[in-house]
Amino acid sequence: MQRPFEGIRVIDATHVLAGPFAAYQLALLGADVIKVEHPYDPDQSRLTGTDRALGRRHMGTSYLTQASNKRSLTLDLKQPAGQDIFKKLIASADVLVENYRPGALDALGLGYEAMAAINPRLIYASMSAFGQRGPRAQHTAYDYVIQATSGIMAMTGTPDVNPIKFGSPAIDYATGTTGAFALASALFQRERTGRGQRIDLAMLDVAMILMGSHLTGYARTGHHPKPNGNVNEQATASCYPTRDGLLMLGASNMRQYRRFWRVLGRPELIQPDLEAREHARPAETKLIAEILMERSADEWESFFQERHVPAARVRTMGEALEDPQLEARGVRHRHAGATDVEGAFTVPVAAFGFAEGGPRVDTPPPGLGEHTAEILAELGYDKAEQERLRADKVI
């Protein structure tokens, strides 16, 4: 079956993580994504990651993560000739995703109004730290700066050690995922209206949405969310040491809570409601800690899961990737190699699947400018014109 975005052209003028990840999600679903980078100052993610040798070749693991299925075009947007090429691209495109500082593309004559005049059906998505308007619009940030700004860091950690940032750049990925949803929504809307759209997406806004229940709770009571570490409001939904490792319990709702104590043979400890559970937490915590020391984390995980009580041993990344569940889900793809990348490597795909025509990796991440000649030829530039552009360092 045809994938949802086959026939859709996306111009990916983004860098680092959130923007490229948004475009990557559309590429997995069939879009023709053209990644536009400066020929001598490429996407920063090409230089970073766990393999420094790949970073020196502009194929760092941070870049490989979200570049499959894309084509690469190098273009200096500060030169008039580069701007002309970009405008031709826009005329042929359905979507532009950019994450420059607000106003930067406007200063080059490549802002929304100018591009919409060229292509009224264009969906122009701007992704930034704080958005296109507001008193902080010109401020810059990365994931961890937004974590600090938003309040997420302040609620993360333990009562003794806080604030703590997330281990992964979760706000970047959430922004990318939100961006893909916004783009898909705008494309669907365009089918009904025939008109393009301007999308203004801010990392700070995404961070606030990620704290939705905390936001509502604080707005109601004025009580700041506390950094409670691995301890939750219920003793049966917290983390405990076992004979050989940590076990995270997740018996949160009343049905699971009652089942937890019954499978342990202690039904007399069951409390009638959530408020009573909170009062009983100190005593329950002490008893659970004693009981869980009787077996290993793996043994307890099997014991509880077989009895439909949520629980999991705390795993490392390596241990998680060995789980056969991930192989069954198709959440990762293994490339045999790529331009300037010797040997196989694995990348994430999407966090969902379709029965037919769903997300799929087709081609490996491209080298810097790997498709420049091909794309320029599609736009009508012959070899002589391309050589002149290369000599002028436009491409």
User: Which positions are annotated as active-site residues?
Assistant: 172
d(CA 120, CA 53): 44
Contact 164, 224 (CB under 8 A): no
Cβ neighbours of residue 264 closer than 8 Å, sequence gap 6 or more? 291
d(CA 99, CA 108): 14
Which parts of the chain fold into alpha helices (H)? Answer: 18-28, 52-56, 61-64, 80-91, 104-107, 112-118, 143-150, 170-193, 203-210, 212-221, 254-263, 274-292, 297-306, 317-321, 324-329, 372-378, 383-391
CA distance readout (Å), 124 to 35, 121, 241:
15, 9, 50
d(CA 321, CA 248): 18
Residue 22, φ and ψ in degrees, nearest 5: -60, -45
On the question of a cis peptide bond just before residue 364, with omega within 30 degrees of 0, the verdict is no
DSSP state string for 289-301: HHHHTTS-HHHHH
- Residue 11: strand, helix, or coil: strand
**Which residues is 96 bridged to in the sheet?**
11, 124
d(CA 388, CA 395): 9
